[in-house]
Amino acid sequence: MPTPKPETTTDLILIRHGETAWNRELRFQGHADVPLNDIGHEQARRIGLRLASETAVRHIISSDLMRAQQTAAPGAQQLSLPVVTSAALREQFFGVVEGMRSDEIQSLHPRAWEEWLEFREDHAMPEGETAREFHARIIAALGGIASEHRGRHLIVVTHGGVLDMVWRTARGLSLSGPRRSDIPNAGFNRIRIADPQRPDDIEIVEWADTRHLADLPPQPTYDQTRHLKNKD
């Protein structure tokens, strides 16, 4: 009989970090190390309880930023697993505008704001990271994870922009243009990567499930298309 082909598909549960005060204020967070607020901690507790049933998981990897690590901690406790951190899983870097709201950027950096509203993949905020550079970093990070943990189940706790890059890649969408998918704080997402040599070949299994958060206050939503409407 022929030797069975080894299982190479890597199953990744992707979790966006819980809410922060800057999420509530719609500030650009990027690499700024902002902690969870009270709602964020409750979201983290609940996603941890949900992850307790994912007994096939053997590894938890988190962005090294505090809000992601704090979100990963309850799930790690439920599964009795350590959390390994990676700077490669950080949010997109927004340079000098990190910590600012859209109105503050518009006032202090009007040209950068006008260019931001074009949502071009090669545009960056001053001293920041372009969408193209960000995408390359995230896909390389996923490739490394899929290669190291080939055929296993993992939890990855990261950021909204990272999940946007995953969604666009899986759906074959351009890196230009406003965000087109729901990416709630502490939402549950599951993807599969069949070949670690092709980390951009992503299958979405579940996306933006928030049943575990149903009775919590409505989440703040950064709607990029709203800024375009206001511009007109």
Confirm whether residue 18 is marked as ligand binding: yes
- Specify whether the CB–CB gap between 69 and 97 falls below 8 A: no
Confirm whether residue 116 is marked as ligand binding: no
Confirm whether residue 17 is marked as ligand binding: yes
Strand 10-16 relative to strand 57-63, pairing: unpaired
Catalytic residue among 91, 129, 135, 212: 91
Catalytic residue among 17, 31, 135, 212: 17
Confirm whether residue 180 is marked as ligand binding: no
Residue 159: active-site member: no
Confirm whether residue 22 is marked as ligand binding: yes
Rounded to the nearest 10 degrees, how much is the dihedral formed by the CA atoms of 218, 221, 225, 226? Answer: 70
Residue 118: active-site member: no
Confirm whether residue 207 is marked as ligand binding: no
Confirm whether residue 8 is marked as ligand binding: no
Q: DSSP letters along 59-96, please?
A: EEEEESSHHHHHHHHHHHHHHT--EEEEGGGPPPP-GG
Q: Say how far apart CA 48 and CA 38 lie, in whole Å.
A: 15
Confirm whether residue 67 is marked as ligand binding: yes
Binding residues for substrate, as ranges, are: 16-23, 67
Show which residues are catalytic.
17, 91
Binding residues, as ranges, are: 16-23, 67
